[in-house]
Amino acid sequence: MNANSLQTPIVYLKGVGPNRAQTLQSELGIHTFQDLLNLFPNRYIDKTRYYKIGQLQRSNADVQIIGKVVHIKTVEQKKGKRLVASFVDETGEMELVWFRGQKWIRENLKLNTPYVIFGKCNWFNGKFSMPHPEMELLKDHEQGLKVLMQPVYPSTEKLNNKGITNRVISKLVQQIFIETKGKFTETLSEKLMFELKLIPKSEALFNIHFPKNQELLAKAQFRLKFEELFYIQLQLIAKNMLHKQKIKGFNFDQVGVLFNDFYKNHLPFELTGAQKRVIKEIRADLGSNAQMNRLLQGDVGSGKTIVAVMTMLLAIDNGFQACLMAPTEILANQHYTGIVELLEGTGINCALLTGSVKQAHRRPIHEKLESGELNIIIGTHALLEDKVKFKNLGLAIVDEQHRFGVAQRSKLWHKNQIPPHILIMTATPIPRTLAMSLYGDLDVSIIDELPPGRKPIKTVHRYDSNRLKVFQFIRDEIKKGRQIYIVYPLIQESEALDYKDLMDGYESIARDFPLPDYQISIVHGQMKPADKDYEMERFVKGETQIMVATTVIEVGVNVPNASVMIIESAERFGLSQLHQLRGRVGRGADQSFCILMTGHKLSTEAKTRLQTMAHTNDGFEIAEVDLKLRGPGDIMGTQQSGVLNLKIADIVKDNDILKTARYHAIQLLKDDPGLEKPENMAIRHTYAQLAKYKNIWNYIS
C-alpha cells in the first residue's frame, strides 16, 4: 500500500464513523490510517495457553479458560445488584460476575455454548470468580486472527467511557491489515537490512500489533525503534552537513598578536587539558570556511569563560567584533566584570549593554559599535534591539541558550550579511544520549575537568533532627570568615505555603544567629527587583554572612567566599536544580560543603536523587540519572520535548540503538550525501515524505 492511501482520514475506516473518529482524534491524535497503524501497544498479554478451572492458582495473572455458562442469576447486595453466572469445564466450576452492563449481558449471553473467557481470577467464598471477563464464543475465537499475545494499547478514561476499549482498537487495527492486505512500502535500504539483520517493514508492523511469540515481537520492536531513531539522526546530520556546505562562514585564518600575547602574558592560570582540547576544536571550526555552530558544555566552574574570551580574541585578531549574550542582568554583569579583568592591559575595548544602561550612555555605545571602535559587547536581550548595529560581527556567544527563544537567537544571527560564528555555552549538563537527539545538528564540545586547585564540594544528606548540629557547623564556618546560603524550595502551586516556610525558616535562623553578631540577607520572589539587588549586593560585598533565599539565586551568582550551601526540603527539588544550586559554592580555594536537609519520610525516587548528589559531583553522571528518573520530555522542558515525541523508541533505554542509528546515518551521508544512489531510493523517498508530513511516523510505511 503506498504512503498516500495511508493518509486516508480515519473516519473512512470500516468500524469508525464520525463520532469515533472525533474521539480518536482528540484523545490519541489519530487522524489517518497511518496514525492508527503507528499507535503501538505499550504492553502485551500472553494468551499462548488455556487453563483448566481445576489448575487455577491464587495468583493475579490473567488467564484464559474454555467452558460453558450453565446458570445465571441476579444477587441483591447492599448497593444495587450483581449478576452471577456459573461457568464450568470438565475439571470444575467457577463464577463470572458483573456489576454493570447487566441487562445487555443477560440478553446476549448464550447458555450451554462453549466460550473462551479471559481475565483475572479472585478467590472468593471458597471458589474462583472472574469479574467482568472478556468473552468470545469459541467458534468466533477459532476463526479470528490468531492473536496469542494480546496487545494493550494506550488509552484514556474518555475512550473507555465512549466504548472504545482495547478490544475495539485492536479490531480497528486488524481492519487496516485486512484493507491493505498487510503490504507496506519498505523504508530502509537492503544494505541496512542485511547488515543489521532487520526484518521487513510489513512483517515488523504485523508483529508489533499481533506478535505470534516473544521472539518475533523483539525483532519487530528492534526494527521499528532503529527506523525511528535512524530517520531523526539522518535529519539532524543532514542539516549539519548542509549547514556547513551552504552557510559560508568568515575564515579566521590568523592566530594573531592579541591571542598569543594573552596566552603568554595575561592568562591567570595554566589551561586544563580539556580547555586546550576545546579551544583546538573551535580553532579548527573558525578556519574551515564554514560557519561554526558549536555547543560548549561544561559544569559549573569548569572555566567556560576563559574559552569564550580566547575565542573572542581570535575574532578580533582577524578584524572582527564579538558579542556575548546572557539571559539575565546579573549574569551579564558578572561576565562583563570577569572579562574586563581578564583583558586588563591588552588595549581591547569592551562595553556592557543591558536594560538598565541609561539612554544617555547607550548612544556612545551604539556609535562605537557601528564604527568598529568597540571590539566586544556583552549584554542581555538589549543586544537584539534594532538600534544595535555592528561594523562587522564575526562571533556571537550565547550563554545558557535554552532560556532564549529561537526567534530571539536568529535576530542576533541576522545582524550581518554573512552570519557570525556561533558558540553556545551551557552549564546545564545535557546527557550525551539526549545531546545526540536534541542537538544532533550542532557540534558538541565538553569541558570535563575542573581547573587545578579547585576542591570538590563535599555533599551530605541530613535529617531535620540533626538541625542543631548543622547550625553549630554554620557558626564554625562563619568564625572562619566564610558565608552561607540557605535555600528554600519555591513551587508555583504552593507559593503561599512556600513563602510561609521561608519566613518561618528565616525567623528561626534569626533567633539562632542574632544581631549584632550575625547579619542575614533575605531574597524571595515577592520582593521588588531593586530590593533583591540591594540584598544580593550586601552578600556579595561580605556585609552579611547568611543569605536566606528561595531558588532566585540564579545560575551564575559568584561569591567565592561562600562555602556552605544548605538546601531545605531537598527532596522537593529535581536533580539538575540541586546540582545547579550546589554550584553556587566551591568557587574559592576553600573546602566547600553542600548540606541536603529533609524530613524522614522520603519516596524511593527522592532517596535516589539524594544518594546521587552525595555520591558524585559530575554533572554528566547526574544528568544521566535524572534522565532515567524523569524521562526526556521533562528534562528539556516542554518547549523542546516536541523534538522527542517518539512513538516507540526510548532515548534512555534504547541508547545503544540510538548510537547504532547515528553511526549508520553518518556512514550513509558520507557515502551518498544527496541520497542519489539507486540502492538508497527507499530511504530517499521516505526522507522526502518526512519533510512533507513533519511527524516522523506519518509517512514511515
> Where, residue-wise, is CATH 1.10.150 in the chain?
1-41+154-183
Most confident of 300-309, 347-356, 392-401, 690-699: 347-356
Query: What's the whole-number mean pLDDT along residues 297-314?
Result: 89
Query: What's the whole-number mean pLDDT along residues 287-298?
Result: 88
Is the pTM higher than 0.75? The answer reads: no
Sign of CA dihedral 389, 392, 397, 398: positive
Query: What's the whole-number mean pLDDT along residues 26-37?
Result: 92
Task: Summarize pLDDT for 482-492 with one digit per residue, the tens.
Answer: 999 999 887 55
> Where, residue-wise, is CATH 3.40.50.300 in the chain?
257-447, 458-616
**Longest Cα separation, the chain:** 100
Residue 311 scores a pLDDT above 80: yes
CATH of domain 48-146: 2.40.50.140
Confidence category of residue 635, pLDDT binned at 50, 70, 90: very low
> Edge-to-edge, what's the strand order for the sheet holding 81-89?
122-124, 127-131, 92-98, 81-89, 62-76, 115-120, 134-137
CA angle 13, 14, 19 (to 5 degrees): 75
Query: What's the whole-number mean pLDDT along residues 583-606?
Result: 89
Residue 143 scores a pLDDT above 60: yes
The C-alpha atoms of residue 622 and residue 405 are separated, in whole angstroms, by: 26
Q: What percent of the chain has pLDDT over 90?
A: 48
Residue type at 227? E
Residue type at 662? R
Task: Summarize pLDDT for 661-674 with one digit per residue, the tens.
Answer: 999 999 999 999 99
Task: Summarize pLDDT for 326-367 with one digit per residue, the tens.
Answer: 988 878 988 999 899 999 989 999 999 998 899 899 999 999
Average pLDDT value over all residues in the chain: 86
Residue 655 scores a pLDDT above 90: no
Residue type at 406? V
Residue 282 scores a pLDDT above 90: yes
**Which pLDDT belongs to residue 430?**
76
DSSP line for 67-125: EEEEEEEEEE-SSSEEEEEEEEETTEEEEEEESS-HHHHHHHPPTTS-EEEEEE-EEET
Q: Which residue has the cell 548542509?
A: 242
Residue 239 scores a pLDDT above 90: no
Residue type at 611? Q
- 3-state DSSP of 372-400: CCCCEEEECHHHHCCCCCCCCEEEEEEEC
Q: State whether CATH 2.30.30 applies to domain 1-41+154-183.
A: no
Residue 84 scores a pLDDT above 60: yes
In terms of pLDDT, which residue wins out, 434 or 330? 330
Q: State whether CATH 3.40.710.10 applies to domain 257-447.
A: no
The C-alpha atoms of residue 557 and residue 569 are separated, in whole angstroms, by: 22
**Which pLDDT belongs to residue 375?**
96
Query: What's the whole-number mean pLDDT along residues 616-627?
Result: 84
**Which pLDDT belongs to residue 7?**
87
State the architecture of 458-616 in CATH terms: 3-Layer(aba) Sandwich (3.40)
Spatial CA neighbour of 647 closest among 221, 345, 183, 217 = 221
Task: Summarize pLDDT for 505-546 with one digit per residue, the tens.
Answer: 899 899 999 989 999 998 887 788 788 888 888 998 999 999
